[in-house]
């Protein structure tokens, strides 16, 4: 698992958001969320920003560039 995938998984579990719910909010498939979390695929910039907004965090945090 890459840093983004690990962080996404941790945030999702901490906020009690299922893959299904996150996929619905982002208009993507649940499988794509699983791919991101496992590091098999990467999301695009617009989706990365949307994920940061959903979790009220920064893109830098999602990418492992900052600790908060």
Cα end-to-end distance, the chain, whole Å:
19
Cα separation, 41 vs 20, whole angstroms: 18
21-67: pLDDT as tens digits? 999 999 999 999 999 999 999 999 999 999 999 999 999 999 999 98
What does pTM read for this prediction? 0.94
Crossing angle of helices 3-14 and 30-38, in 10° steps, is 130
Q: Which residues of 54-63 are buried (b: 16+ CB within 10 A; e: fewer)?
A: bbeeeeebbe
Q: What is the mean pLDDT of residues 2-7?
A: 95
Q: Are 59 and 5 in contact (CB under 8 A)?
A: no
């Amino acid at each position: 698992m890459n840093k983004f995938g690990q962080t996404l998984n941790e945030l999702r579990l901490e906020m009690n958001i299922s893959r299904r719910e996150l996929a619905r909010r982002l208009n993507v498939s649940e499988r794509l969320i699983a791919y991101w979390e496992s590091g098999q695929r990467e999301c695009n910039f617009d989706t990365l920003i949307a994920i940061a907004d959903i979790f009220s965090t920064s893109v830098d945090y999602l990418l492992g560039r900052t600790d908060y």
